[in-house]
Chain A
Amino acid sequence: MRIVCSALAATALTLAGFAAQAQETVKIGILQSFSGITSLGGQQADGAVKLFMKKYGDTAGGKKIELIRRDTTGPNPEVAKRLVQEVVTRERVNLLIGPDYTPNTLAAAPILMEAKVPSFVTGAATTGIIGEKSKYSTRTFFAVPQLCRPLASYAVKNGWKRVYVAVADFAPGHDCEKYFLEALKEANGELAGNVRIPVSNPEFSGYMQRMRDAKADAVFIFMPIGELSIGILRAINDSGLKSTGIKIMGTGDITDETYIDAVGDAAIGTITTGIYSTQHNSPLNKEFVKEWAELNGKQRIGWGALAVYDSMRLTYDALNAQGAGKFDADKFISFVHGRTFESPRGPVTIDKNNGDIIQNIYIRRVDKVDGVLQNVEIESFSNVGFK
């Protein structure tokens, strides 16, 4: 009898424990790419979450934060969809950071909309995927036009009127080409020529000769993160095009901190637009960079890490504002959308109407700072939104 009693008591206690826990826990699904060739994104996300929780603790608004980590394995919509379904229906996550990449974001949107689960878009830059598809989405990354437009007026202002445009031959490349050409026309610049480079392309010399023949003042480049960016910058240097004095411009992908060392000195002088540089001069960023290095060692900070870090910031702020009681997705979204806050990258606002991001876009030049290649900010455009 005594045994039965204590067993019952124990069960009751456990149940009570569960109930209490269920009330006071907020589950965040972290859907990023943790394995294979895209695992760098996952490492950056892990680094950001770890740093944020070390600094601000593991409770917000009196609720304990619980992380549910899942591996999207890269731009893989089938996998992303299955994982979203799993964490939403079985793990009952309250919100998501991710999934990463545009195809993954699109695959997740209908489920999140139906289940009313807020999500942060931390790795997809395509236009039109925020707002219409899911009103529970918030983008903390950037949108392609934010980066593609500013360099047109900057080039013309500096007297580099004739611009050669080279983009990668895939959807975001075509997008970026369109936005840049529009902006170049508005700024009264002149198109010296343009070319679309195949996404699988180990050889650039034919394109280099064309750029040389076009006698442009500057070349504008949009390439996806990876070997194409490294390849084209090295080709411009090796072919001697760079020493003709042509200015090299592009979106920040081509000089991303996570592989700029592989480009090497060929990158020096390249002018890019970016949302964040570790060189950003603000007390908040200096602290962020210092703490990141203490925790994550030599790994450099990419934009994805910033997007995840700011998503955590918004989450904690929203939970604190909600206080006790059950997690409310609609309250969460109405707090986050329209919010302005200071991020290590500078001031950031989440658009009240569609949840997309409004932020400063910086013009940076690659230079060696204490022997390390860095994107040094030289000018900034304030509060650039998505047009």
Chain B
Amino acid sequence: MSAVLTVLFNGIAYGFLLFIMSVGLSVTLGMMNFVNLAQASFSMFGGYVMVMAMQWFGVPFLLTLPLVFLVIGVLSVVMERLVFRHFYNTDDLTQVLLTIGLVFMSIATATYFWGGTYQRIDMPPWLIGQREIFGLTLETYRIFLIVIGLAMALALILGLERTRFGAMVRACVDNRRVAGACGLNTGLIFALTFAVGGGLAGLGGALSANLLGLDPNFPLRYLVYLLIIVSVGGMGTISGTLIAGIALGVADVMGKYYFPQFGGFVIYVLTVLCMLWRPQGLMGRKA
């Protein structure tokens, strides 16, 4: 019994990891309707910012998180002003080609500055090892991921889906000209949303680097997972991303435990089935 519960817990924690990694993409792709594959690169740079802050300046791990959000948020606004905003009105394929090109450039950039090897990531002692909770031995870092993931989900659902700012973003996406005519500064709103999406991606990279490793190939390796979670969850919903993350996370870990010979498959099979059943995603609005 304790084995089953431990596996379930690990699955949920993995689900939160998937959520944390993909929520940044969910914001830019889902809310702004901009296909930005370079979100995965923002994640990687987030990881490097965390590593540098810890190794070079001795910043404690928890403090690096807001720092990463800020730095990557600013970086993404700069990129938005310089590059992305010129492509808001182009079709999806153009955006995909543009941003996948940026991913390759980011890989080369990271190799140039930090070398091709994997970074050393030292977590603080209180996040290492296991804790006894209700008789179960659980990994401390996974508990931490669940707590942080819940906090992020709550803040985002309240902040983006339930506030005036969130409504303004949706208005701009639905019809930019009318929103502008109503007196909204659409450029500013898009830039801010882009910053939030980028910052979240950076945060995702910083929080996942400990489990996934960090090297210049990070964006390409995990891009597929980001896309799966966002499309299964449904465009434009934070709660959908969370539900998709947890569902696929639990299915993946359970699959690997009970049917190890097909274990790696489960996540893809479920994705295909889910897309056949609800092409708009679990929580997506009908297009």
Q: A residues bordering B, Cβ < 8 Å?
A: 36-40, 43, 169, 195-198, 200-203, 205-207, 209-210, 212-213, 226-227, 230-231, 234, 238-240, 258-259, 261-262, 264
B176 at the interface (CB under 8 A from A): no
Q: A37-B217, A207-B260 are in contact. Are A227 and B212 (CB under 8 A)?
A: yes
Partner of B221, one of A206, A212, A227, A230: A227
Across the interface, do A36 and B111 meet the contact criterion of CB distance under 8 Å?
yes
Task: Report how far A205 CA is from B249 CA in the complex, Å.
Answer: 11
User: A212: which B residues are within 8 A, CB to CB?
Assistant: 3
Question: A295 to chain B: closest CB distance in Å?
Answer: 17
CB-CB under 8 A from A40, the residues of chain B are 115-117
The answer, yes or no, to whether B6 is at the interface (CB within 8 Å) is yes
**Which B positions have Cβ atoms within 8 angstroms of A?**
3, 6-7, 10-11, 13-14, 107-108, 111, 115-122, 128-130, 137, 139, 141, 211-217, 221-222, 224-225, 249, 252-257, 260-261, 263-264
Query: Roughly how many angstroms separate A39 CA and B221 CA in the complex, as a whole number?
Result: 17
A239:B139 contact, CB within 8 angstroms: yes
Known: A202-B211, A227-B213, A238-B128. 11 other contacts (CB 8 A): A38-B116, A40-B115, A203-B14, A206-B10, A207-B256, A226-B215, A231-B213, A240-B129, A240-B139, A259-B117, A259-B118
B121 to chain A, nearest CB (A): 7
A212 to B141 alpha-carbon distance, docked (Å): 19
Known contacts A202-B212, A207-B256, A227-B215; A262/B7 CB under 8 A:
no
Contact, CB under 8 Å: B260 / A209: no
- Shortest Cβ-Cβ A-B pairs, 3 listed: A206-B256, A198-B264, A205-B10
Indicate if the CB atoms of B260 and A262 lie closer than 8 Å: no
CB-CB under 8 A from A231, the residues of chain B are: 211-213
Of B10, B129, B256, most A-chain CB atoms within 10 Å: B256
26 pairs, CB–CB < 8 Å, chain A vs chain B: A36-B116, A37-B215, A40-B117, A195-B260, A196-B260, A200-B221, A202-B211, A202-B222, A203-B14, A206-B7, A206-B11, A206-B255, A207-B260, A207-B263, A209-B6, A227-B213, A227-B215, A227-B221, A230-B118, A231-B212, A234-B211, A238-B129, A240-B129, A262-B117, A262-B213, A264-B121
* CA gap between A24 and B224 in the complex, in Å: 54
> Distance (Å) between the CB of B96 and the closest chain A CB?
21
Contact B225 A202 (CB under 8 A): yes
Min CB distance, B4 to chain A, in Å?
A: 9
B111 touches A206 (CB 8 A): no
Given contacts A227-B221, A264-B122, is CB(A238)–CB(B252) below 8 Å?
Answer: no
Question: Once the chains bind, are A227 and B256 in contact (CB under 8 Å)?
Answer: no
For the complex formed, measure the closest distance between the CB of A76 and the CB atoms of chain B, giving whole angstroms: 15
Closest to A38 in B: B116
Across the interface, B254 reaches (CB within 8 A) one of A36, A202, A206, A261, namely A206
- Chain B residues within 8 Å of A205, by CB: 7, 10-11, 13-14, 139, 253, 256
A211 to chain B, nearest CB (A): 10
| CA of A202 to CA of B208, assembled, Å | 10
B3 touches A209 (CB 8 A): yes
CB distance from A290 to the nearest CB of B (A): 22
Q: How far is the CB of B108 from chain A (nearest CB, A)?
A: 7
For residue B188, give the distance in angstroms from its CB to the closest CB of chain A: 37
Query: Contacts A203-B252, A205-B253, A264-B122 hold; do A39 and B111 have CB atoms under 8 A apart?
Result: yes
- What residues of B have a CB within 8 angstroms of the CB of A262 in the complex? 117-121, 213-214
Q: Are B216 and A37 in contact (CB under 8 A)?
A: yes
**Closest chain B residue, CB of each to CB of A43:** B116
Contacts of B7 in A (CB 8 A): 205-206, 209
A180 → B minimal CB distance (Å): 18
In the assembled complex, the Cα of A196 lies from the Cα of B259 at a distance in Å of: 11
What's the nearest-Cβ distance from chain A to residue B203, in Å? Answer: 17
CB of B111 within 8 A of CB of A37, answer: yes
Instruction: Tell me how far the C-beta of B47 lies from the nearest C-beta in chain A, rounded to whole angstroms.
Output: 12
A1 CB to closest chain B CB (Å) equals 57
- The answer to whether B117 and A258 have CB atoms under 8 Å apart is yes
User: Are A36 and B253 closer than 8 Å at their CB atoms?
Assistant: no
> Whole-angstrom distance from the CB of B134 to the nearest CB of chain A?
16
Bound-complex Cα distance A331 to B207 (A): 58
Closest chain A residue to B220, Cβ basis: A37
CA distance A9 to B127 in the complex (A): 78
**Are B107 and A36 touching (Cβ within 8 A)?**
yes
Q: Which residue of B lies closest to A203 (CB)?
A: B14
With contacts A36-B111, A209-B3 known, is A240 near B261, CB below 8 A? Answer: no
Contacts of A196 in B (CB 8 A): 260-261
User: B49 to chain A: closest CB distance in Å?
Assistant: 17
Q: Compute how far the CA of A258 lies from the CA of B261 in the bound complex, rounded to whole angstroms.
A: 31
Chain A nearest CB from B140 CB (Å) reads: 8
B139 touches which one: A195, A213, A230, A238 (CB < 8 A)?
A: A238
A240–B130 touching, CB < 8 Å: yes
Q: Which residues of B contact A198 (CB under 8 A)?
A: 263-264
Query: In the complex, which residue of chain A has the Cβ closest to the Cβ of B118?
Result: A262
- A258 to B115 CA separation, bound complex (whole angstroms): 11
Residues A210 and B260 in contact in the complex (CB < 8 Å), given A37-B111, A262-B118: yes
